[in-house]
Amino acid sequence: MTDSCEKYYAEVLSQLQCGGNLRVIPSDRRYSKAADFSTNDYLGYGSLTLRDMAEYDPELPDLPMTSSASRLLAATQREYDALERMLESLYKGKRALIFNSGYHANTGIIGALADRSTIILADRLVHASIIDGILLSRAKFFRFEHNNTDDLRRLLKKCYEPGKRIWIVVESVYSMDGDYADVNALLEIKREYPGVMLYVDEAHAFGVNGPHGLGLVESSGNPAEVDVTVATFGKALASYGAFAIVSETLRGYLLNRARSFIFSTSLPPMQIRWTQRMIERMLGDDAARERLRSLSERLHDIITGGSGVPSVVSHIQPLVTGDAGRAVELSRRLAEHDIIVLPIRTPTVPAGTERLRFSLSAALTDDNMQELKNVLKLCADI
């Protein structure tokens, strides 16, 4: 690397540090006694090991640790087929397709389904992977105000034409604010504009919300009307990978056009089998979901302090500091008391909305919650 290039990158890092936005990889916390409020391990499965699951499924350790090729070339298909058939039994009348991650799913699916002749209307707070998929597609796109169906209708009135491909793209549970999309309201809009397609990312809802943890689309009035539902295994499911629930036609199209599916080595068969076992566990674990709801209510009371300030009751809740430096300092002070809540800064969230993002796990104890309440009072001056 030339000196001028090196200098440029060093200056960028220096600017990030000065603004309180320099990111580093945190240290290993697996064996720490600290209470972790930054994990996406919503159901508390994250501590399970292969030894634990081998007692439930003795064949698991004998499966290959690699597929050695993309799904279209891999010799081993049995585990993938079994998992996709399982998902299809849960999401009636639809087909399933497994992707390597939520990022692979969103970039690959949107990049395949949209092109320069497509219009995409996306909620202003959709995940970066969705934005990247839109950019890869080269579609014309507009953002509507967050969770504002009136603003969505305004945009549709401007751009709708019968026969034009238009996609509405949302998340069901938003990753930084924890609030919910109104799926039924979106389906109503979809009916008002025939031909418009609806894409819902359930990354933070799968395992937690809806019947048996199957997401908010499944708890809507007519889940079959949602054209693409995407969810991940790497959060509540304590595994890795993602899946799409689509029609037979869209599955075939994605199989032939989604570049992230076609050109990536597929997940290891052992990982796929692990995922299937975790779904089986998740489906009947209403106790963990109820525990998570109870913790969410308590966290809401702790963060608002009974102030009556409007905020969502969810397994994801923000404490907005409005300043990166304050977020970093508050996170540091909490860590001194064995409470891990990592700061979220721009560009992950808009400037001026920097925050601590509390992400709950059913494994957290009542003592953890009480300690959080006590320590936040001590740090209120930040």
> Which of 94, 104, 190, 235 is flagged as catalytic?
235
- Return the axis-axis angle of helices 269-283 and 78-90, rounded to nearest 10°: 20
Closest CA to 41 of 57, 27, 25, 29: 29
Residue 204 is among the residues annotated as catalytic for this protein = yes
Residue 127 is among the residues annotated as catalytic for this protein = yes
Residue 286 is among the residues annotated as catalytic for this protein = no
Residue 106 is among the residues annotated as catalytic for this protein = no
Count, residues in the chain = 382
> Which of 79, 201, 285, 323 is flagged as catalytic?
201
Return the C-alpha torsion angle 173, 174, 178, 184, nearest 10: -40
> Which of 101, 175, 239, 260 is flagged as catalytic?
175
Please check whether residue 363 is in contact with residue 326, taking contact to mean a CB–CB distance below 8 angstroms: no
C-alpha torsion sign, points 224, 226, 231, 236: negative
Residue 201 is among the residues annotated as catalytic for this protein = yes
Task: Using DSSP bridges, classify how beta strands 242-246 and 95-99 pair: parallel, antiparallel or unpaired.
Answer: antiparallel
> Which of 79, 171, 177, 354 is flagged as catalytic?
171
Residue 104 is among the residues annotated as catalytic for this protein = no
> Which of 94, 104, 127, 190 is flagged as catalytic?
127
Residue 235 is among the residues annotated as catalytic for this protein = yes
> Which of 94, 104, 204, 315 is flagged as catalytic?
204
Residues designated catalytic:
40, 127, 171, 175, 201, 204, 235
